Amino acid sequence: MPAIATAPVVDPTHAQPFYTHDEYLDGVERALRCATAYHAGDVTVDDATYDALVARIAATEDHHPAWQSTASPTRTVAGTGGDVEHSAPMLSLDNVFDEDGLRGWAARLHKAVGQRVAQYTVEPKVDGLAVAARYRGGRLVLVATRGDGRTGEDVTAQARLVAGLPQRLSAPVDVEVRGEVFMTDADFAAANEIRVAHGEPRFAHPRSAAAGTVRAIDRGYDVPLSFLAYAAIGVPDEHASTHSAAIEYLAGLGVATTAQSSAGMVVGTSIDEVVDNVVALGARRGELGFAVDGVVVKANFTADQEAAGYSSRAPRWSVAYKFPADTRTTTLLRIEVQVGRTGLITPVAVLEPVQVGGVIVTTATLHNFADLVLRDVRVGDTVFVRRAGEVIPEITGAKLDERPETALPFEPPAVCPRCQGEIDQSQKRWRCLRGRACGAREALLYYAGRDAMDIEGLGDKVVDSLLAAGLVTDPADLYGLDVATLARLDRMGTLSAANLVANIEASKLKPLSRVFTALGVRMTGRSLSRRIARHFGTMAAIQAATAADWELVDGIGSGRAQVIVAELAELAPVIDRLTAYGVTMVEPGSPALEPDAAEPGTAVLPLQRRDGSPLTVVVTGSVPGFSRTEGNEAVEVLGGRSSGSVSAKTDLVVVGEGAGSKADRAAQLRVPVLAGEQFAQLVAAHRAGKQKQVRQILRTVLR
C-alpha cells in the first residue's frame, strides 16, 4: 500500500484569488469549457475541482470587481443553447459548502425579504441534468434540456421512457414541470449490462450515463432513466402559495417529485431546523439509491421568494448546500489481489490518494474479476472513484479518452496468490478451492503469537504438521487436541506434546482483549482490540453490538464499524466453539462489567481525568517485567489510552531502558515523563490497591 500522502483538499470557502487578470480570464475560459462539456454529458473534471475553480474566480472578483468578465460562471448559466426557447430562464443555484455558508445565505435572505422567513424547504439536490417538460391538456408535448438557461435542446423523443415523467397527467391541465433526469444506482448497473451486451463501453458514472442517454439519438436500445420534479410554472393559484404545495400538486398529477423520493422534502421553520435536516440528509446520502450532490434549501412561501428576487444567474431565495464530492477522478496505480479469511479472492484498486466524500481514499473495491474485465479498468487509467456515504469506495469506470497507450488489460491470477492452489471460478466471486483452509496457517500463527494468545510451542513447524495431518483448520480446533494425538506428529515427543497441550489449555485464561486480538478481525489492531474489549466487557456484548454501538468506541467510525460487524458474523462459528471450549470471553476490569464504576466522578482510575476520560500514554523502551504489549495493556488497566507516537496531545510518556527518539520528542514537547521502574511500581501499587502510593508516584510527574 502506498503511504497516505496528502491529497489535494478542495475547500471552496477559502479560495485563493488569481494573481493576474490574464490568469483570471484563463480560469473563466477553463470553467466555461468544463461547464459546456458537463451539460453535454461529458465530465472533464470532477465536481469538486470545478467548484474550486469557480470559487477562485469568485474570490478574484471580490478583490478586483473591475476584472469581472461577462462570461464568468458567477454571472452566467453555463451550457450550450438549443432550438427550444424556455418559457422562463432555467437558472442555476448559488452554492454553500458548510454551515456558516448556509447561515450567511439565510441572513442575506432575511435582509432581502425584510422580515423573518417563516418557512424553508429542504430537499435533495439530484445529481442529473435539468429538463423542462411542457404539458398541454395533460399531455406531454415537449421536453427540453436546460442548455444555456435561455434555450435548450428538444429531447422529447428520448424522454418518452423516463420514469416519473408520465406521457399523460391525471388531469387535463397546462403546466410546465421542471426537474432532474437521472439514473438510479440500480438502473446504472442495469444500463451498463445492456451497454456491454451491445458491445459498447460502460458508462463511467450515473450522471454522465443519464446525460448521454437523454441526448442520444438512434441508439438501438433503451436504458432506464428517472425524473424528479423540483419546480413548476403555471400551477393554479390555490396550490401556488408555497413551494411545498406546488410540489404536492405535481405529485397529485402523477409526476415524481423530490418530496416523494427516498430523500423526501422537509419544511422547517428556522435555520437551525434546516441545518439539522441538511446534516440528516447528508448522513443518509449513501442509502438513497440515487446520487445526490447536495441539499437544496428554498424559502417556502412564494411571497418571500418574490420579495427576495433573483441575481442574473440564480434565485436569492434558494441555495445549494453542496456535499463533499462523492465522485472524484484519480490514477489507478496498481491492482492487488486479496485473499480473504474464507478464501474469497478479490481485486482491489490501489489509487493515487484522493479526497472523496470528505476522506482520503487510497484503495477501492473492484468487486470481482468478471466485473473488472467488463469495466475494462487498467493500471495507469484515470478512474472515477465513488464513495457514497460510508460505504466502501468503488471504481465506477475509467476515462477511456485519457487511457495511456501503454495500459494493458489486467490479467486475473491463474492460481490462488496465497497458497498457489486452484481457484474456483464457477461463481462471480472467485474462491480459493481450499476455502478457509487456505488462510489457516496465517490465522493459527497469528492466534498463537506473543501479542495474541501467546501459546508457546505453537510455531511454524508445528502448525505446518498440524495442518498436514488435517488436525486443525481454525483456532478453535486447537482446544480439541490431546497429548496422544500430538505425540504421533513428526518430531513431537510425548513431553513436548504434553507441554503444548498445557500451554493451549493455559491460553483459555487470557482476557477477552487477547482473544479478540487473536481472532485478527480486519481493521482492528492490538490497541483497538483492547479498547473494544474494555468498552464492551464481554464477547456476547461484542457479538450483539450493532454498527451504531460500534461507533461509540473511541477510534471507530461508521466505515470501520460496518467492516467489523461483517467480520464478526463470519467469525461467529469459531467464536461459538472457542466459547464452548471455555476460552475466557470477558475483560476483567472493564467498566461495562461494573456500570457504577463508569459514572463520571466515581472511581476514577489513576490514568483517567476527573471526568473519566483517559490520559494518552506512550510507553517506549523496555519496562522491567513487561513486554511491549503488556506495557500497553497495563496503561489501559490503569484507565489510560495507549498510543504509539508522541505528540503535543500526549499526556505522559513512560521511558524505559533503551528508549530513543520518542523520549527525545517528549523532552522537546515538554510532555511529562515517568521512568520505566516508576511505571512498574505504579502498576504494582494499583494492583495491590495502594491508592496513596499510586497518587505519590503520579504526583511527581503529573500536575
Task: Based on the shown chain and the rule CB under 6 A, indicate whether residue 126 belongs to the binding site for ligand IVH.
Answer: yes
Residues 600/611, Cβ–Cβ less than 8 Å: yes
Residue 94 as a binder of ligand IVH (CB under 6 A): the answer is: no
Residue 349 to residue 589: CA distance in whole angstroms = 42
Looking at the Cβ atoms of 297 and 339, the one nearer to ligand IVH is: 297
> Least CB distance from residue 567 to ligand IVH, whole Å?
38
Minimum Å gap between C-beta 91 and ligand IVH is 4
CB-nearer residue toward ligand IVH: 126 or 571: 126
Instruction: Give exposure, 186-198, as e/b (b: 16+ Cβ within 10 Å).
Output: ebbeebbeebeee
Q: Which stretch binds ligand IVH (CB under 6 A): 33-41, 85-93, 464-472, 560-568?
A: 85-93
**HSE (CB half, 13 Å, CA atoms) of 95?**
22
Contact with ligand IVH (CB under 6 A) among 130, 232, 256, 354:
130
Choice from 106, 320, 398, 654 touching ligand IVH (CB under 6 A): 320
Q: How far is the CB of 319 from ligand IVH (least distance, A)?
A: 10
Residue 123 makes contact with ligand IVH by CB under 6 A: yes
* 60, 145, 208, 318: residue in contact with ligand IVH (rule CB under 6 A): 318
Q: Does the CA dihedral 295-296-298-302 come out positive or negative?
A: negative
- Among candidate residues 111, 125, 510, 649, the one labeled active-site is 125
Beta bridge partners of 298: 121, 318
Among 92, 184, 473, 590, binds ligand IVH (CB under 6 A): 92
Stretch that binds ligand IVH, among 30-38, 123-131, 341-349, 566-574 (CB under 6 A): 123-131
Whether the CB-CB separation of 282 and 323 falls below 8 Å is answered with: yes
Which cell numbers in the block locate residue 331? 490514477
Largest CA distance in the chain: 95
What is the rounded radius of gyration, in angstroms, for the C-alpha atoms of the chain?
Answer: 31
Q: For residues 596 and 600, what is the distance between their CA atoms, to the nearest angstrom? A: 9
> Of 673, 566, 670, 699, whose CA–CA distance to 617 is shortest?
673
CB of 258 to ligand IVH, least distance (A): 5
Count interface residues toward ligand IVH (CB under 6 A). 15
Q: Which of 91, 274, 278, 585 binds ligand IVH (CB under 6 A)?
A: 91
Binding ligand IVH (rule: CB under 6 A), the pick from 188, 203, 230, 301 is 230
Pattern 267-296, binding to ligand IVH, x per CB under 6 A? Answer: -----------------------------x
Of the candidate spans 45-53, 312-320, 439-447, 463-471, the one that interacts with ligand IVH by CB under 6 A turns out to be 312-320
Q: Which three cell numbers stand for residue 337?
A: 489481489
In whole angstroms, what is the distance from residue 684 CA to residue 687 CA?
Answer: 5
State which residue, 257 or 513, has the beta carbon closest to ligand IVH.
Answer: 257
- Which DSSP string do the residues of 161-201 spell out, in sequence order? GEETS-SB-SS---EEEEEEEE-BHHHHHHHHHHHHHTT-P
Q: Which of 39, 56, 86, 125 binds ligand IVH (CB under 6 A)?
A: 125
E-assigned strands of 77-224? 84-85, 95-96, 120-126, 129-136, 139-145, 151-152, 162-163, 175-182
Please indicate whether residue 125 is annotated as part of the active site: yes
- Among 317, 259, 319, residue whose Cα is nearest residue 117: 317
313 binds ligand IVH (CB under 6 A): no
If one asks whether residue 231 binds ligand IVH (CB under 6 A), the answer comes out as: yes
**Amino acid (one-letter) located at 29:** E
315 interacts with ligand IVH by CB under 6 A? yes
Q: Of residues 192, 213, 257, 258, which one binds ligand IVH by CB under 6 A?
A: 258
Tell me which residue has its CB nearest to ligand IVH.
130
Which residues in 547-606 contact ligand IVH (CB under 6 A)?
none
CA–CA separation, 538 and 533 (whole Å): 7
- Closer by beta carbon to ligand IVH, 144 or else 533: 144
CB of 202 to ligand IVH, least distance (A): 25
Per the DSSP assignment, residues forming a β-bridge with 657 are: 622
Which residue, 54 or 377, has its beta carbon nearer to ligand IVH? 54
Distance CA 196, CA 306 (A): 49
Pairing of strands 292-299, 266-268: unpaired
Q: What is the rounded CA–CA span in Å between residue 428 and residue 435?
A: 15
- Is residue 181 part of the contact set for ligand IVH (CB under 6 A)? no
Given a contact cutoff of 8 angstroms between Cβ atoms, the answer to whether 466 and 472 are in contact is yes
Q: What are phi and psi of 95, to 5 degrees?
A: -110, 145
Between 291 and 619, name the residue whose CB sits nearer to ligand IVH. 291
Site for ligand IVH in 469-508 (CB under 6 A): none
CB distance 563 to 612 below 8 Å = no
Q: Measured at the alpha carbon of residue 40, what is the angle toward residues 35 and 46, in degrees to the nearest 5?
A: 50
Give least dist CB 631 to ligand IVH, A: 55
Residue 180 within binding range of ligand IVH, rule CB under 6 A:
yes
What is the smallest separation between the CB atom of 544 and ligand IVH, expressed in angstroms?
A: 40
* Complex with ligand IVH: residue 243 or 641, whichever CB lies closer: 243
Q: Which residues are catalytic?
A: 125
Which residues of the chain form contacts with ligand IVH (CB under 6 A)? 91-93, 123, 125-126, 130, 180, 230-231, 258, 296, 315, 318, 320
